[in-house]
Structure 1
């Protein structure tokens, strides 16, 4: 794993403290990270050597989910919460390849993500992309933001994509997702990946402790807890499964074992 240090334009970026999005970028082979992120990533991979496989499988799942939503479900609007470091193919690239008129709003609260996203907000002439710096724990603020209301039509179906493993019990993760989804019209979709320790509890537990030691505690959820996010929604086949089992398309180049994956994934439609 190698990477080139990126110099942020935004003085608010804390390059001396590891950040979850930059750790993820480092582990999957990106270039937008700093020594603290590399130290953290190396420590986590020592605890669970399958971590890069797990992270790549999670990214591949979300790519497949977006492709399904654009091609098969007819979704033309996407709200991506916790977008992280932009890595091609991005959600707007996948959606607009299937439907050039697709519109995407990315939401994150990392200033470095904002800096990097400015260079990647290219779009087809028919579509649109926008970036909103906001905290997912403020659903009302996200839905009321000019970036959201200008780029997307709240009266037409929206695909909400979100990752929740850094939301703790006191944050009410299920309530946050519900408050994001409730105002969206019928036909909207929810696509999520949800961290779990169901399949490699010792290894994943050690990785979680490494995150917590750096001020990034996470909440790992059972399958029953993952299902709570989809109450009242119509799950798309195959339902809630480990991410590598969600509609695999045969494009992967590595063998993935169930024990190497610590994430459930699912897509569901709002009736």
Structure 2
């Protein structure tokens, strides 16, 4: 029998490709199944938290109640420990919102406070032996918008005094006196703290900034674009915290003729500028200035 005509049946290159493609497809199916199974498990593994019920959000200092918040489920992996759980509802009822909270957003522990902050709270921190003095000033002459509550300043006072001089050189003649007015300058306060500033309406500028921070993003920009806001942050007077001795010294010079006060800003190295304790408005200011440009 002649076997030379029988062709070899060994696997060729195409068969190996088919097998490899089949194995790869099976691997993709297995991985996809595992991913979908895990996603399904995660979707069912949820945590119930509290969120704002209204689409418009909650303004600052509003009491938390069943009418303002609701229970809401989120995936467990999205939960963080600073979120308020639904089981915390009874304990947070009666608390106040610290600032504006966006609509339908999850509530966080640091967004609620026990009581409304006091107006001009820095007054409650003034030393009982000290006093607060109101001193008018021109903000264009004292650093413009650089000077802030918490800064330390040095204040000099200039005033007029009368100086008498004798007229005549002969000792046997009758002398007459003439009065000359001279200007003197002294340091009134070597270092005194600016606790706050007042605008032309005698309102606290620090409180103006605080009120703006309570608004939502859109309202905040609308307010800051207004001429009223720019007018309300222009100071016309300083509120200074000083000792009784310093205030008494000021009273001596206040009634003198031709008096004027020179205010200079001291280093902030050891100062605690109050405005730095508020969320900065710099980004918001830059954003709407850029839009107008």
Give the structure-2-normalised TM-score.
Answer: 0.22
Larger strand fraction of residues: 2
Give the structure-1-normalised TM-score.
Answer: 0.23
> Higher Cα Rg: structure 1 or 2?
2
